[in-house]
Structures are given as C-alpha cells and as structure tokens.
Amino acid sequence: MSKDSKTYKDFGKKVYIRTFGCQMNKLDSELSIGSLVREGYTFVEDEKAADIILLNTCSVRNKAEHKVYSQLGSLRNQKEKNPDLILGVLGCMAQNEGEKIFRRMPHVNLICGTREFSRLPTLLEEINGSNKQILAINEDEMVSFDRLVTQRPNRFKAFVSIMRGCDNYCSYCIVPYVRGREFSRPVGDIINEVKSLTDDGCKEITLLGQNVNSYGKGLNGNITLANLLKKLNSIEGIERIRFVTSHPRDMIKDILEAISELPKVCENLHMPAQSGSDRILEKMRRQYTSTHYRELVEMAKSLVPDITIASDFIVGFPGETEDDFEDTVSLMRDVRYQNCFIFKYSPRTGTAATELKDDVPEETKRRRNQILLDLQSDISAEDNKEMIGKSVEVLVEGTSKTDESKLTGRTRQNQIVVFSLPEGRSQEGWPSSLQGKLVNINIVDSTDLTLFGIIN
C-alpha cells in the first residue's frame, strides 16, 4: 500500500463478527475485536452493514461446521452485490478445513487458523481493495495474548486464558488437532492481565483452558492451578474467581482445598464425566474410571459442602449399549449435577474414534439425549426448589432479558437468579445502581433453570 493511500484507520471500516463454539472461541473473538479496534476498525451488530464479515468457527461436531457452511452460502449474495466485502473464516474450522473452504465457498477471502489470530489486522489490510484470498493456518505461530482490556462484552466479568491447546487426545475429540499442543501461560502475564481487568472494574474472572487442572505443565518452578488460584486470590478488586474445564484425571485434592480455603474462589466445578460406563470411558481414552470419578465427587462434596458440579456427556459413542447408557443415567442421578451439557456423538475425521463404527442409530442417540435432558431438568428443578427460603450472594450483571424491571446475576455456585425490590420499596438509581455489585437475595421461587428472589 502506498504511503498516502487510505488505510483502515482513515475509513473506520465496519466489522461484523459472529462466534460459534466454546468460551475459548468467545475469548478469541474478544481479543480479535480488541486488536482491530486498536487499528481503528468499528464493530457493527448487523452483518448487512459490514465491510468485513468474520465467522469465528467451531469443529467439535459436524453440526457446528454445517452451520458455518450454510451461513457462508447465504452470504454469497451480499458478496456478489458488494465485491469489496471481505469475508473471513477464523478459528477451529478454518484450521480443520483449510483450503477446502475456498473450494466449497470461493467467495471467501480469508481462512485464518487458531494460531494466526494476532496477524488478523495485517491479513485484512493485505486483502483490502485487492479481493485476494489468503490461507493462514500456520501451526508454529505463537499466539499473542496481548489484550485491550477495555474491550469486553461485560464490565464486571471476564474470561482469562491460562493455557492454550490440549494434549489429551480423547478418542472422539478434534480439539487437540485444531488447537494444537497444550501450552501454559506464564503466571506473571496472567496476574498482569487480571490486575488490568480489575483496574477497569472487573469483579469476576473465569480462568479458561481445555484442561485447567494440568496448568503449569512445562513452566519452570512448582506452578500448579492451586498456586495460581492462591496468587490471584490476593489481587485486590477481584471478588470472584472461577475456572473451566476440569479434566477428572487431573483433579487433585490441592485444587479442591483451594476452593475450600480461598474466599474468592467460587464453589463450582465443571468436571465433564462424558460417560458413566467404564467400557465406554476406556474407548473414549478418558483415563479414569467411573469409580474414580465418583470418588472425586465425594471428595469435592466433603471438602466443599456447598459445591455445585457441572458436566458434559456424550451419548451414542460407538458401541454404547443400553447397559452402558444406564451407567451414565445412574451417574447423573447419583451426582445430582447443577447443570449438564449433553451431546450426541458426532464422528470427526482424523480422530481415533473414527476407527470404531458409528453404530448407535440416530434415533437411539436422540432418545438417550432426551432421557438425560429430562433427568437433568428434574434434578435441577428439585434442587432449585430446595433453595426457596434461603439467602444467596449474587453478582449483579444487568437487567433481566425477559423483564427490564428486574435484575439478574449468578450465585457463587453459578445458579442464575432473577430478582426485584420488595414491594413498595424504591431505591435510587434502581436498577443500574446495582450493576457489578454483590447483593444478598432471598429466594422465593424457582424453575429448573432459574431462581427468583427479592433483594434483602
């Protein structure tokens, strides 16, 4: 580009970004938005108004990739009408599908993999005005964690990446292939980022990684998740600390003790079991048994009596019989999770499980999926009912989506609470004055998904 030609900074080009997939992807989008804002771009909510459309994608199940292809297909018209429109596919599916995306969707300009995010401003500048196609899926790039902390969707809460990648190679999972080797981020960088976030008004952080329990592997010194939690707990301004996801194989007493002893660390674990059957767990290469998993749950509940636990389950893994499935049902029944994400097995090319025949019929997968959803909903409804009459601490996030006169937030145990003022009481500035504050709420009603209450 010549020196006096217009750059994006002059134009303030409008970017629309849509994020698919997990929290790591949401954070990657947030970091990308930060880096583009620094360069003078603006962001729009309406894709029709955008000069640049970016899809940050997920490959974890076939459906996730399918959604992206179908959105890319429907963007063909917009691109035809406006050939200067830049269309980019970012993240896991970009890494997984690579050039294939150009072949299926020739109107795409950019394929940017999971380790090339930091080059996004440069790549977009290169495409600007030329309408060329760039494939950027280098696996050796260092991921930059440099963050514009003021750029985040919620003033009071933030995700903080403490590790990238995954070395576990669970037999069904594409993540290690698309995200690369596990890599822990240095403690100092994490502390600095958390301090900047608290300076900007952040009250709650959620530490992110595919397997946060193995945090510290590869770093010098005795660095573990428990130590990191201890260090973060002493940062002034932070009120709550959460972490996801916990692989059961790497769950140790130290981490549970940290939850129990450190006042800011919240009493909630996301520890996916995936299955309750040892036979299936072995085929999944999860490296624990259901007995060990149950022992961990017992230990967690005895060290932290008010802990809540969440899980992921896959139904219809190759060879899953009714007996295997019943083991999952009984695990779910015994643990009484606070929340569960349930997925139908979806074979991913290149993963070890594709050597096994995907032999559970779709209809059976659907039925098992529904049984687990119904069971979880019953458990949540019963446990939430038990909360009626109790007082809980809530970090106020904002007004309720369904009723603007009410506020919403979460308990330390990650339950969603919708609440109002007692009848007849008015409060100056309500509801905005309470956002980002910790308040005590008396619970008066509940459903399977929500607790309803009145402020104390």
d(CA 385, CA 381): 6
Tokens standing for residue 422: 């007692």
The distance of closest approach from Cβ of residue 12 to ligand SAH in the complex, given in angstroms and rounded to an integer, is 37
C-alpha to C-alpha distances, 161 to 164, 204, 266, nearest whole angstrom: 7, 14, 18
For residue 393, what are the contacts with CB-CB under 8 A and spacing of at least 6?
A: 411, 412, 438, 439, 440, 441
Q: Min. distance of Cβ 240 from ligand SAH in angstroms?
A: 22
Considering only residues 231 through 290, tell me which ones interact with ligand SF4, judged by CB under 6 A.
Answer: 247
Question: Minimal distance in Å, beta carbon 56 to ligand F3S?
Answer: 8
Residue pointed to by tokens 């458990």: 379
CB of 24 to ligand F3S, least distance (A): 5
Cβ of 427: how many Cβ atoms within 10 Å? Answer: 11
Beta strands in 141-239, from DSSP E residues, in sequence order: 157-161, 163-164, 183-184, 204-208
- Cβ 273 to ligand SAH shortest distance, Å: 9
Give CA–CA dist 399/412, Å, rounded.
19
132-191 binders of ligand SF4 (CB under 6 A): 166, 168-170, 173, 175-176
CB of 455 to ligand SAH, least distance (A): 36
Number of H helices, E strands in the chain: 15, 19
Give residues in contact with ligand F3S (CB under 6 A). Answer: 21-22, 24-25, 58-60, 92, 174-175, 178-179
What residues between 146 and 175 interact with ligand SAH by CB under 6 A? 172-173, 175
Q: Which does 169 bind (CB under 5 to 8 A by kind): ligand SAH, ligand F3S, ligand SF4, none?
A: ligand SF4
Cα-flanking dihedrals φ and ψ of residue 72, to 5°? -60, -40
119, with CB counted inside 10 A (0-12, 13-18, 19+), is middle
Amino acid letter for position 314: I
* 274 lies in the binding site for ligand SAH (CB under 6 A): yes
Counting every residue written for the chain, the total comes to 456
Smallest separation, CB 381 to ligand SAH (Å): 23
Least CB distance to ligand SF4 at residue 358 (A): 18
Question: With CB cut-offs between 5 and 8 Å by kind, which of ligand SF4, ligand SAH, ligand F3S, none does residue 348 bind?
Answer: ligand SAH
Beta bridge partners of 52: 15, 86
Rg (Cα) of the chain, in Å, rounded?
A: 23
Q: Scan residues 323-382 and list those touching ligand SAH (CB under 6 A).
A: 343, 345-346, 348
* Residue whose CB is less far from ligand F3S, 179 or 240: 179
The two three-digit tokens of residue 251, written as one number:
């769950």
> Smaller CB distance to ligand SAH: residue 241 or 342?
342
Considering beta carbons, is residue 211 or 275 the nearer one to ligand SF4? 211
Give the footprint of ligand SAH on residues 47-66 (CB under 6 A).
60-61
Of 208, 271, 214, 212, nearest to 23 (Cα)?
208
In whole angstroms, what is the distance from residue 75 CA to residue 50 CA? 12
- Under rule CB under 6 A, residue 25 binds ligand SAH: no
Give whichever of 33 and 310 is closer to ligand SF4, judged by the CB atom.
Answer: 310
What is the CB-side half-sphere exposure of residue 404 using CA atoms within 13 A? 0
Q: Is 52 in the site for ligand SF4 (CB under 6 A)?
A: no
Residues engaged in binding ligand SF4 (CB under 6 A): 166, 168-170, 173, 175-176, 210-211, 247
Could you list the residues that contact ligand SAH (CB under 6 A)? 60-61, 172-173, 175, 210-211, 245, 247, 272, 274, 312, 314, 343, 345-346, 348
